[in-house]
Amino acid sequence: MALNLPVGLLALGVAALWVLDIVLFIKLFI
């Protein structure tokens, strides 16, 4: 469990950056 926690947090961080990137990309074109 202790090993899975940092991996989960990293995945959440990457997903958040991905969503922000997509939102900015859409705003540029709309």
What is the per-residue pLDDT for 21?
96
Residue with token string 């939102």: 23
Q: Kindly tell me the sign of the dihedral angle through the C-alpha atoms of 7, 8, 14, 18.
A: positive
Which domain range does residue 15 map to?
1-30
| The pLDDT of residue 2 | 59
Per-residue HEC secondary structure of the chain comes to CCCHHHHHHHHHHHHHHHHHHHHHHHHHHC
The identity of residue 24, as a single letter, is L
- Which two three-digit tokens encode residue 7? 């991996």
Nearest-angstrom CA–CA distance, 29 and 14? 23
pTM for the complete prediction? 0.57
The structural domain count of the chain equals: 1
- Tens of pLDDT, residue by residue over 7-25, are 888 999 999 999 999 999 9
pLDDT at position 5 is 78
